[in-house]
Structure 1
Amino acid sequence: MKVFSIDGVRDLRDLIEEKSSVVKDREVVKLNETANMSQFLVFIRTAEEPHDHPDHDLTFIVLRGHGELYLDGKREKLGEGDVAFIPKGKEHFYTNTAVVSVLLAIFSPSYP
């Protein structure tokens, strides 16, 4: 699995394997950032706390694993390849139901 950007190509397979085996609860790795968006790999072994992003829209893709997304009072089961869009200000959280879930998270505008 690769990410291509102006800085070149980054193969994510080794990073995903390494982090998936050692993450205890949740870990975030920044991949790319501009003024208008940022990309992160998010590793989740357990569950996130309910939260929102008041100034950022979030799109994420499940790269590995499966879980349940709770968004605005609704629950949706997600698996590899599924995409979720979370508008800014909407409370949400992801609960992992696999050994570990790996999400590609894209924030707009850029998230610190």
Structure 2
Amino acid sequence: MRQRGGDVHARLLGYEDMASCPLLTDAGEHVRMIPSGPWQRTIVPGAIPEEDLRKQIMMILMLQTHNELTQSMSTTSLHQGYPPALVQQRTEKKLNDLSVHLFVKWLHSYATRIIAIRKIKDFK
């Protein structure tokens, strides 16, 4: 990826950049692991069915997003010289195989902007 001009580690710099910025305060980060497929079943006593349905919908949407990402990255494999038939075969296998339970790691960085207080002249 670095050869193509991107840096996959840039997403990890959000907190450091916010913490070092003099215009921001209370910088922090939050990590959430989200299943990338509808394979996780939550069997919790007293769970609300609407919450379980919402989680299932979210997991299906994550699977669709993950599949689109995998398909878009197949062009990178072709660019690196892999045979198109092999790339197509492995991409389809990856998209249809839910036996490996994957999670997507979401990293959220946040901060509060400092507002400078200025004197406002009375224009009466």
Higher relative contact order (CA 8 A, sep 6+): 2
Considering only CA atoms, is the larger Rg found in Structure 1 or Structure 2? 2
Q: TM-score, normalised by structure 2?
A: 0.24
Which one has a larger percent strand, Structure 1 or Structure 2?
Answer: 1
TM-score (norm 1): 0.25
